[in-house]
Structure 1
Amino acid sequence: MWNWQQQAWPEFRWDQRKLMRAEALFAEGAGVVVGASKHLSVDERASLTIELMSHEAVDTSAIEGEPLDRDSVQSSIRRHLGLHSDHRRASPAEAGIAEMMVDLYEQSAAPLAEAVLFRWHRLITNGRTDLKDIGRYRTHDDPMQIVSGPLHAPKVHFEAPPSAEVPNEMARFWRWLERGAPNGSAPLAPVTRAGLAHLWFESIHPFEDGNGRVGRAISEKVLAQGLSSATITGMASTLLKHRKAYYAELERAHRELEITDWLLWFAAKTLEAQQHTLRQVEFVLEKSRLLERVRDQINARQEKALLRLFEAGPEGFLGGMSAANYMKITGAPPATATRDLAALAAKGAVRRTGEKKATRYYLNVATTPLVVIEVADIVGGDLGGQRS
Structure 2
Amino acid sequence: MQRGLSGQYEIGSVVGQEEVRAFVPAPLPPDPLPDLAGERGRLHEQALLACGRLDAITALLPEPDLFLYAYVRKEALVSSQIEGTQSSLSDLLLFELEETPGVPFDDVVEVSNYIAALEHGLGRLREGFPLSNRLLREIHERLLARGRGAERQPGSLRRTQNWIGGTRPGNAHFVPPPPQRVESQMADLERFLHDDQQPFSALIKAALAHVQFETIHPFLDGNGRMGRLLIALILHEDRVLHQPLLYLSLYFKQNREEYYRLLDATRREGDWEAWLDFFLEGVLTTANGAVETAHRLLDVFREDREQVEGTGRSAANALRVFHALGTRPVASINDLAERSGVAYPTASRAVEALEGLGILREITGRRRDRVFAYWRYIAVLNEGAEPL
- Give the TM-score, by structure 2 length: 0.67
Kept in 2, the 8 Å contact 1:216–1:235? The answer is: yes
Q: Is the 8 A contact 1:121 1:210 kept in 2?
A: yes
Superposed displacement of residue 228, structure 1: 5.1
**1:163 equivalent among 175, 179, 187:** 179
- Deviations 1:114-163, CA, capped at 9 Å, x for gaps: 121111111121224674532111101x4x21115xx5998532111100
Query: Any conservation in 1 of the 2:92–2:112 contact (CA below 8 Å)?
Result: yes
- Letter aligned with residue 295 of structure 2: E
Task: Say whether residues 1:15 and 2:41 are aligned partners.
Answer: no
Distance 1:132 1:217, change over 3 A: closer
**Runs of at least 5 residues in structure 2 that lack an aligned partner in the other structure:** 10-23, 331-350, 360-374
Picking from 299, 310, 316, the partner of 1:297 is 310
**Equivalent residue in structure 2 for 1:136, among 156, 175, 193:** 156
RMSD between aligned residues:
3.9
Of 59, 67, 71 in structure 1, the residue corresponding to residue 86 of structure 2 is 67
SS in 1 for 2:172: strand
Q: CA separation in 2, counterparts of 1:296 and 1:331?
A: 15
Q: Which residue of 2 aligns with 1:146?
A: 164
- Is 1:179 the counterpart of 2:190? The answer is no
| Contact 1:4–1:203 (CA under 8 A) maintained in structure 2 | no
Q: Write the deviation string for residues 315-367 of structure 1: whole angstroms up to 9, x where unpaired.
A: xxxxxxxxxxxxxxx889xxx98xx78xx9xxxxxxxxxxxxxxxxx97xxx9
**Structure 1 counterpart of 2:98:** 87
Q: Distance in 1 between matches of 2:229 and 2:110?
A: 16
Instruction: Determine if contact 1:39/1:285 at 8 Å carries over to the other structure.
Output: no
Amino acid at match of 1:70: L
Per the alignment, do residues 290 and 154 of structure 1 end up closer, same or farther by CA in structure 2, a change over 3 Å counting? Answer: farther
What residue is the counterpart of 1:100 in the other structure? 117
* Counterpart Cα distance in 2 of 1:209 and 1:98: 17
One-letter amino acid matched to 2:191: R
Letter in 1 for 2:225: R
Q: How far apart, CA to CA, are the structure 2 residues paired with 1:164 and 1:172?
A: 14
* Alignment equivalent of 1:4, drawn from 2, 7, 15: 7
Once residues 29 and 129 of structure 1 are traced to their aligned partners in structure 2, the CA distance between those partners, rounded to angstroms, is 36
How far off its partner does 1:296 sit? 3.0
User: Structure 2 residue aligned with 1:200, among 212, 217, 221?
Assistant: 212
User: Which secondary structure state, in structure 1, belongs to the residue aligned with residue 221 of structure 2?
Assistant: coil
Q: Is the 8 A contact 1:4 1:161 kept in 2?
A: no
Aligned-partner residue type, residue 55 of structure 2: V
Aligned ranges 1:44-55 → 2 under 5 Å:
44-55=63-74
1:241-252 to structure 2, matched below 5 A, reads 241-252=254-265
Describe how 1:268-347 pairs up with structure 2 within 5 A. Answer: 268-298=281-311
- By how many angstroms is 1:197 displaced? 0.6
Q: 1:4 to 1:153 in 2, by over 3 A?
A: closer
Aligned to 1:254: 267
Please state whether the residue corresponding to 1:38 is helix, strand or coil. helix
Deviations, residues 87-125 of structure 1 (Å, cap 9, x unaligned): 335654243212112224444555211121111111121
2:239 equivalent to 1:227: yes
Query: Distance between the aligned counterparts of 1:179 and 1:152, measured in 2?
Result: 37
Corresponding residue to 2:140 among 121, 127, 139: 121
How far, CA to CA, are the matches of 1:203 and 1:194 in structure 2? 14
Secondary structure of 1:145 counterpart: coil
The amino acid across from 1:30 in the alignment is C
Structure 1 distance, partners of 2:93, 2:209, is: 28
Letter matched to residue 53 of structure 1: V
Structure 1 residue 86: Cα displacement: 3.0
Matched length: 307
1:249 partner SS:
helix
Cα distance change of structure 1 residues 229 and 203 upon mapping to structure 2, 3 Å threshold: closer
Task: Report the CA distance between 1:180 and its aligned residue.
Answer: 4.2
Conserved? CA contact 2:149–2:221, under 8 Å: no
Provide, for residues 174-207 of structure 1, a one-character-per-residue CA deviation record: whole Å limited to 9, x for no partner: 111111443xxx3x11221110010111111111
1:266 has 2:279 as partner: yes
Give distance in 2, aligned partners of 1:129 and 1:20: 41
C-alpha spacing 1:108/1:236, structure 2 compared with 1 (3 Å): farther
Residues 138 and 206 in structure 1, CA contact (< 8 A), matched pair in contact too? yes
3-state DSSP of counterpart to 2:303:
helix
State which of 52, 55, 60 in structure 2 corresponds to 1:34: 55
Structure 1 residue matching 2:173: 3-state secondary structure = strand
Change (3 A) 1:166 1:35: closer
2:267 is matched by which residue type in structure 1? H
Change (3 A) 1:207 1:235: same
* Distance change (3 Å), C-alpha of 1:121 and 1:8: closer
User: Quick one: structure 1 residues 9 and 31, their matched pair in 2 at CA, closer, same or farther if it must change by over 3 Å?
Assistant: closer
- Cα distance in 1 for partners of 2:115, 2:36 equals 36
CA distance in 1, matches of 2:169, 2:232: 36
